[in-house]
Amino acid sequence: MREYKIVVLGEMGAGKSTLVQALAQGRAVSTEVRNTDPSAAKPFTTVALDYGDIDLPGGDRLRLYGTPGQIRFDFLWPILLEGASGAIVLVNADAGPPDQQIRPYLDAVDRHPTPLPVVMGITRMDDASPTRRAACEQWLERDEGQLPIVMVDPRDPMQVLTVMDVLMSQIECQALVACHE
């Protein structure tokens, strides 16, 4: 049996805790407290981590860790990334410009001691303002295809499984390349 540690990063309100809960079918451990950060209009925020796991049909296990999105918790990201097999970076379509939004989270992934397979997921396309949705679409068109990007509603377990599928392919691809080096 193989175990994969997957870490979910991204801006406050991008849906990291929601994604972990969806995959763990509501059984994830969370550390939500009342939000006092005026920059995000959300009632609760993660202050340590989310944790959920799921057994895959082939006998493998995914261990999913959601990070706190607030920059003041950036010291926690490398700690949670320790021993990771891959990362998901969520982009909140209803927040600031995507390229600026993801920068601190991708920087944390880049500082990881070994190259880490990453998938980016754009969330909240359903309720983003038309201007912000258009900014995301333009960003997608401009993207140079370095990292896979999928649109995902993290409330929907089937969509979350699709993201996991893309990430697992990235992880397998990297392992294959490493075998031939």
Ligand X SMILES: Nc1nc2c(ncn2[C@@H]2O[C@H](COP(=O)(O)OP(=O)(O)OP(=O)(O)O)[C@@H](O)[C@H]2O)c(=O)[nH]1
| List of residues contacting ligand X (CB under 6 A) | 10, 12-18, 42, 45-46, 66, 68-69, 123-124, 126-127, 153-155
- Residues 28-87, interacting with Mg ion (CB under 5 A): 46
Of the residues 4, 9, 13, 17, which one makes contact with Mg ion according to CB under 5 A: 17
52 binds, among ligand X, Mg ion, none (CB under 5 to 8 A by kind): none
Binding of residue 21 to Mg ion (CB under 5 A): no
Number of residues that bind Mg ion (CB under 5 A): 3
CB of 111 to ligand X, least distance (A): 20
As a three-state string, the secondary structure of the chain is CCEEEEEEEECCCCCHHHHHHHHCCCCCECCEEECCCCCCCCCEEECCCEEEEEECCCCCEEEEEECCCCHHHCCHHHHHHCCCCEEEEEEECCCCCHHHHHHHHHHHHHCCCCCCCEEEEEECCCCCCHHHHHHHHHHHHHCCCCCCEEECCCCCHHHHHHHHHHHHHHHHHHHHHHHCC
Nearer to ligand X, 133 or 174 (CB): 133
15 binds, among Mg ion, ligand X, none (CB under 5 to 8 A by kind): ligand X
Nearer to ligand X, 40 or 174 (CB): 40
Nearer to ligand X, 48 or 56 (CB): 48
Nearer to ligand X, 116 or 151 (CB): 151
Q: Which residues bind Mg ion (CB under 5 A)?
A: 16-17, 46
